[in-house]
Amino acid sequence: MSLSVRDLSVAFGRRAPAVESVGFELADGERLGVIGESGSGKSVTSLALMGLLPEYARVTGSVSLDGQELLGLGDRELSKLRGEKMSMVFQEPMTALDPTMRVGRQIAEAYRLHHPRSGAAAREQVETVLDKVGFTDARRVSLSYPHELSGGQRQRVLLAMAVVNKPGLIIFDEPTTALDVLVQAEVLQLIDATLTATGASALFISHNIAVVSQVCTRAVVMRGGRIVEDGPIAELFEHPKHPYTRALVEAAAHE
Amino acid sequence: MSELYQVKALTRSFGKVEALKGVDLAVGKGERLGIVGGSGSGKTTLIRLLAALDVPTGGTIVFDGEPIRAGKPPKGFRSRVQVVFQDPRSSLDPRMKIKDIVGEPLRSQHRRDPKRVEQVLADVGLEPDVLERYPHEFSGGQRQRIAIARALAPEPEVLIADEPVSALDVLVRDQIIELLGSLTKARGLTLLLVSHDLAVVRRLCDSVLIMNEGGIAESGPMAQVMNHPREDYTRRLLAAVPRLKFGPS
């Protein structure tokens, strides 16, 4: 799916806008990195795309998914789109999952939102999709509660939930930041394989430019609510034009 | 290098969970040792014991020739060994002024030394006008500078740092790593640095301890472990570090 964001601004109350005149294009099947530090506006941007900002947020501009304008849509229309056309994977799977519900049921509920009257099919889908995200014991996992799984396993469950309705766009918000290196490498590989298999477009939000360089083909760099630079990854990191991008690349090259 | 810490068969269990399974370790005076491992590898448990903030289930820790008994450190230990934690937000008392926070370890030595407080704040790059202010008025990076100043105030020999830059943004992180490097070098401090991030350890330490599942997977001089890892676990860990695919030419 293609995504076109134009002149997007978000403000909360009387404070300075959190996001100001942000624009980018995401072609069908493309993976775009959104790089920034805390307060850069990268997460607010993704929440605005998903229609997940609180009501008092003032959102202006245009966000169009395969030609359909998303800003201004009501809750019902948005919930129809969420999951089916676009989905999101958050940083902290412990807070994104319901601690009181077996993970299989949580995935089934996400599926049934878009496939009503599908009890048996939903159960089947749960195991298929858990299989796809690399669990060899899908049945046992589906009967587990979130706290019974490791951080990496929980993140794979979230990925399963995000892809169960085969959306055309997946937004990843710091999906591996809470994981340690070995698990991070596994999850990144899995994300890469899943995107390749489904052909979904992806928006990949991260403060870690090394991670972005591994997953994405293009990136935008955000600072203070604005995009300071964008371009293909190779060009952006080999010949950074903006001093801020240059500083980020130098810090990453140190490591 | 004479030995500062001698650790033998150290274990720590929490109920049925064995967080440390018999660790042997020697740390030399002035050594800068990085302790690396995934979550649950036992690295934080180990340094909490070395800082005498926790009591081992078994084994012994000898510090500069004197045993640490049941969490009771030898006299002077609390000033000689200082700790910097990951999150400066929770490790600085929000109701205290900066001058009192940084002066606290001096007060416990019955010293009142405003000059010393000003000096260590200057050493970490902060102006005297911060003295009368409170922690919430500072950014994460500045709060970590304050935490480092507090740790340095009593002129310790050992600095123990638990993920000191993990909560910080990329650029600030870079500055704090530089600061920790120059301060420990200038003072000849013994540094025990815990991090899940090999890159941080590589920049600050000259030897490294790789932990896995409560034990030591591999240890040795930094260059040797990084360039010629002997253990499969270390090799996997090194290979997993995300590298910048393209860089400045």
**Looking at the complex, does the CB of residue A242 fall below 8 Å from at least one CB of chain B?**
no
Determine what percent of chain A is predicted with pLDDT higher than 90. 80
Neighbour count for residue B15 (Cβ, 10 Å): 5
- To the nearest 10°, report the CA torsion of A82, A105, A92, B53: 170
Segment A56-66 shows an average pLDDT of 95
Segment B138-152 shows an average pLDDT of 93
**Number of helices (H) and strands (E), helices first, in chain B?**
10, 10
Query: Phi and psi dihedrals of A196, rounded to 5?
Result: -65, -45
Residue A118, pLDDT > 90, answer: no
Segment A106-121 shows an average pLDDT of 88
What is the reported pLDDT for A199? Answer: 94
Q: In what order do the strands lie in the sheet with B158-162?
A: B81-84, B158-162, B190-195, B32-37, B207-212, B215-221
What is the reported pLDDT for B53? Answer: 92
Query: In this complex, do B170 and A37 lie within 8 Å of one another by their Cβ atoms?
Result: yes
What is the reported pLDDT for B249? Answer: 60
A23-62 CB burial, b ≥16 within 10 A, e <16: ebebeebbbbbbbbbeebbbbbbbbbbbbebeeebebebe
Reduced to 3 states (helix: H, G, I; strand: E, B; else coil), residue A117 is coil
What is the reported pLDDT for A151? Answer: 87
| Total CB pairs under 8 A between chain A and B | 89
A124 to chain B, minimum CA–CA distance in Å?
A: 33
What is the reported pLDDT for B1? Answer: 53
Residues A10-19 have pLDDT tens digits of 999 888 899 9
Q: For residue A216, which residues of chain B lie inside 8 Å, CB to CB?
A: none
- The ipTM (two decimal places) reads 0.75
Residues B162-188 have pLDDT tens digits of 999 988 888 899 999 999 999 999 999
Segment B45-74 shows an average pLDDT of 92
Taking CA B230 as the corner, what is the angle to CA B228 and CA B231, rounded to the nearest 5 degrees? 130
Residues A127-151 have pLDDT tens digits of 999 999 999 999 999 999 999 998 8
> Mutate which of A153, A177, A180, A237 to test chain B, going by most B C-beta atoms within 10 A?
A180
The per-residue pLDDT of chain A, averaged, comes to: 92
Chain A segment 98-127 residues within 8 A of B by beta carbon are: none
B105: Cβ contacts below 8 Å, ≥ 6 apart:
B78, B79, B82, B150, B151, B153, B154
**Looking at the complex, does the CB of residue B199 fall below 8 Å from at least one CB of chain A?**
yes
**Looking at the complex, does the CB of residue B186 fall below 8 Å from at least one CB of chain A?**
no
Residue B245, pLDDT > 70, answer: yes
Query: In this complex, do B247 and A208 lie within 8 Å of one another by their Cβ atoms?
Result: no
Reading phi first (left if > 0) and then psi (alpha if -120 to 50, else beta), residue A107 is in alpha
Segment B108-130 shows an average pLDDT of 92
What are the CA-CA distances from residue B179 to residues B83, B123, B142, B196 (Å)? 16, 9, 12, 19
Contact (CB, 8 A) for B37 and B233: no
Segment B214-222 shows an average pLDDT of 96
B158: nearest Cα among B1, B2, B5:
B5
Q: Which of A183, A207, A253 sits opposite B169 (nearest CB)?
A: A207
**Looking at the complex, does the CB of residue A188 fall below 8 Å from at least one CB of chain B?**
yes
Structure tokens belonging to residue B71: 């969490």
Segment B24-44 shows an average pLDDT of 94
Q: For residue A188, which residues of chain B lie inside 8 Å, CB to CB?
A: 242
Query: In this complex, do B242 and A246 lie within 8 Å of one another by their Cβ atoms?
Result: no
Look up residue B163 and give its DSSP letter.
S
**Looking at the complex, does the CB of residue B8 fall below 8 Å from at least one CB of chain A?**
no
A208: nearest Cα among A241, A173, A238, A156:
A173
Q: What is the DSSP string of B30-75?
A: T-EEEEEE-TTSSHHHHHHHHTTSS--SEEEEEETTEE-BTTBPPT
**Looking at the complex, does the CB of residue B237 fall below 8 Å from at least one CB of chain A?**
yes
Query: In this complex, do B199 and A248 lie within 8 Å of one another by their Cβ atoms?
Result: no
Distance (Å, rounded) from C-alpha B137 to C-alpha B126?
13
**Looking at the complex, does the CB of residue A183 fall below 8 Å from at least one CB of chain B?**
yes
Residues A155-211 have pLDDT tens digits of 999 999 999 999 999 999 999 887 888 889 999 999 999 999 999 999 999 999 999
Structure tokens belonging to residue A93: 């799977």
Look up residue A82 and give its DSSP letter.
B
The per-residue pLDDT of chain B, averaged, comes to: 92
B153: nearest Cα among B162, B164, B145, B161:
B145
H/E run at residue B83: strand B81-84
Query: In this complex, do B244 and A248 lie within 8 Å of one another by their Cβ atoms?
Result: no
> What type of residue sits at position B46?
L
User: Burial of A100 by CB count in 10 Å (0-12 exposed, 13-18 middle, 19+ buried)?
Assistant: exposed
Contact (CB, 8 A) for B71 and B51: no
